[in-house]
Each structure stands twice: as C-alpha cells, then as structure tokens.
Amino acid sequence: MEYAILNGELIERKDAKVDIEDRGYQFGDGVYEVIRVYNGKMFTAEEHLNRLSESCEKIGLNPGFTKEELKTKLEQLIGKNKIGFGTVYLQYSRGISPRNHAFPGSEVPAAFVAYTREAARPEENMKSGIKAILTEDIRWLRCDIKSLNLLGNLLAKQKAAQSGCFEAIQHRGHTVTEGSSSNIFIVSGDKLVTHPADHFILNGISRQKVLEISHENDIPFEEKAFTIDELLGADEIFISSTTAEVMPVIGIDGSPVKNGKPGELTQKLQGLFLEKIEKECGSIQTGALNS
Ligand code: PDD
C-alpha cells in the first residue's frame, strides 16, 4: 500500500484528494520543497525545511507544524512507502476557503500535503552531460520564494523539451539567472561563478552545498552575475539541483560547450558532492541501478 500525507495525516495515497477551493489549486497560493532520499534517508532535510519556513514567512503563511514535526512525518512517510532512492515532495497551501484574492482569516488553517516518488540517481546524464537552450527569464521578481506558481518555469522547461534539451538556462537581458528547475554555474579558468542569492534566483540547497564544498576544498568561487557571453565562453558549465545533483552542460543552443565533454572541475565537484551525500545517508553504489 502507498501512503501520502494530507493535512498532516498519513493516509492511503489513493484517498489523498484536494478540495477544489484549495488556494494552492486555484491561485498557486503556497510554497513547496523537493527533498532527495538516498538509502531511505533524506539528504539536507534540515536545510530544505529551513527554506520552507523562510518561504512561508515571505508569503505570510502560518505553517501548522514545526520543522521537527514535519521531519518526523516525512520520515514516517518514507519508511511506510519503503523508499530507498527517490524524492519526497511537500507543499503548504494557504488552505481551503471561498475564492477571494485577499487572504482568508487566521481561522483557515494552511493545508499540508506530502508524497514520495521512487527515482534512481540520473547517472547517465550526470556522466555524459546534458544539453540546454537559452531563453528569456519572464518570471516574477521574487524567484527566491519556492512558490507553487511555476508557470514561467514550466514554459521555459517545455521550450527546452521541444528542442530535445534537458534544461532551459534563463537570462534577464544579458544576465544569466538560473535554470527552469536548477541553478547554473560556470567555470572560468580555475574559478566557479554563479548568480548571487538575491530575488532573481532560488537559493538552491544543492547550490549552497557546491559553494560549501568549494570553500572546504580551496576551489575559488564568486557569487556574481555573469552574462550570456561569459556563459558561452565558459570553460565548463554545470547545473545543480536536488534531483540532478551536479550535472554537466555540454551544449547550448546546438553549440558545444568547449570540447563538448563534461569538464574536469565539474567531475571533481560531482565526486565531492557524492561524498557529502554518503556522509549523511551512507554509502551509495554508483554504476548500479540505485532504486
Ligand atoms: N527544483 N532553481 C529553481 C527554479 C528550482 O526549481 C530548483 C529546484 C533549483 C535548485 O534548488 P535545489 O538545489 O534546492 O533543488 C533552482 C526542484 C528540484 C523542483 O522543483 O523539482
């Protein structure tokens, strides 16, 4: 039997149905997280739950549960569903109330939902690298909030998919911001560069891990906006996200990135990222079907 969490209750997945007046459904009025599970354990759960409470705070949503309560509930869910390798999705919406743009009163509790999905590590793409397109960033100005409103991201991702690409690298004018569901890093010489964590991007947990790893390993890095020209002239490019970890980008808009192969520093960071995962979640067999 598969389980999900609806309003804090662990119930059968097939019974987890949402009311048509849920504000998440009608307005995208809510926030979410995706946490990776390795060996049945959540990776960087603390960081994700901290970002979830920050997102709640930024939109004035009062979460019904503490971070500790949420963590326990998610652990129960993962255990019940016997997830070895996969993800747990969790979201808060601003509850169920008659449709009205203004927020409902405090008597309407936020609605919490979570479910799991089995998924192997994307080893093939991590090894060979992926292709991307460039597209104008048409999203709003609070991309730091992990909001349920993802239409701008979806349009970008669909454009990439239609071009046979894995990711869309977004830019505002000449400035590269982030992927449709990932952060973007370039390597220029021996230095890593990524957009600063301001309102134009989501401060990815994987992004923060990459920066932590770089700091610990004396890899020079800078959080600085870079241009499309700098992107196209970069020695290496990679994306980071919960599901992609550190994934090389080997082509953009049909042209190869350098020699069209994953870069050396990118591969080194992949190894160091895996070490972080193993430290928290136990050893992982690579090259095997991780599911
Ligand atoms: N996406 N930027 C955007 C717009 C994202 O949607 C994501 C993650 C990231 C990377 O964040 P993190 O390292 O914390 O996963 C950056 C998730 C995985 C998703 O929506 O499925």
Please tell me whether residues 132 and 107 are part of one structural domain: no
Q: Which of 46-60, 111-125, 274-288 has the lowest mean pLDDT?
A: 274-288
Query: For this structure, is 146 an active site residue?
Result: yes
Q: What is the mean pLDDT of residues 87-106?
A: 98
Q: Check pLDDT > 70 for residue 212.
A: yes
At residue 64 the predicted structure's pLDDT band, cuts being 50, 70 and 90, is very high
Tell me the residue ranges of DSSP E strands in 137-285.
Answer: 167-172, 175-179, 183-188, 191-194, 221-223, 226-227, 236-241, 245-252, 255-256
Distance 105 CA to ligand 1 centre (A): 31
Q: Check pLDDT > 50 for residue 291.
A: no
Percent pLDDT > 90 in the chain is 97
Residue 91's closest CA among 147, 142, 132? 147
Which H or E run includes 130?
strand 130-136
Strands 86-93 and 111-118: antiparallel
Please tell me whether residues 160 and 109 are part of one structural domain: no
Tell which of 86, 118, 150 closes a domain: 118
Q: Out of 241, 243, 245, 276, give the residue to mutate to test ligand 1, the one with the largest number of ligand atoms within 8 Å of its CB.
A: 241
Please tell me whether residues 166 and 36 are part of one structural domain: no
Mean model confidence pLDDT for the chain:
97
- pLDDT tens digits along 221-244: 999 999 999 999 999 999 999 999
Please tell me whether residues 95 and 185 are part of one structural domain: no
Range of the domain at 28: 3-118
Distance 201 CA to ligand 1 centre (A): 10
Q: How far apart are CA 46 and CA 52, in angstroms?
A: 10
Single-letter amino acid, residue 20: I
* Structure token pair of residue 255: 């042209």
Q: How far apart are CA 43 and CA 75, in angstroms?
A: 12
Please tell me whether residues 266 and 130 are part of one structural domain: yes
Please tell me whether residues 75 and 109 are part of one structural domain: yes
Which H or E run includes 228?
helix 228-232
Residues whose beta carbon lies within 6 Å of some atom of ligand 1? 34, 153, 178, 181-183, 202, 204-207, 240-243
At 147 the pLDDT is 98
Tell which of 64, 95, 118 closes a domain: 118
- pLDDT tens digits along 145-174: 999 999 999 999 999 999 999 999 999 999
Q: How far apart are CA 4 and CA 10, in angstroms?
A: 6
Q: Which atom of ligand 1 is nearest to the CA of 243?
A: 18
Please tell me whether residues 195 and 77 are part of one structural domain: no
Number of domains present in the structure of the chain? 2
Phi, psi dihedral angles at 226 (to 5 degrees):
-130, 160
Tell which of 118, 143, 164 closes a domain: 118
Distance 53 CA to ligand 1 centre (A): 16
Supply the CATH number for residue 192's domain: 3.20.10.10
Q: How far apart are CA 229 and CA 175, in angstroms?
A: 9
Q: Which atom of ligand 1 is nearest to the CA of 178?
A: 2
Whether 286 maps to a domain, the answer reads no
Please tell me whether residues 213 and 248 are part of one structural domain: yes
Distance 55 CA to ligand 1 centre (A): 13
Determine the Cα angle at 262 with ends 139 and 236, to 5°. 60
Please tell me whether residues 274 and 134 are part of one structural domain: yes
Supply the CATH number for residue 94's domain: 3.30.470.10
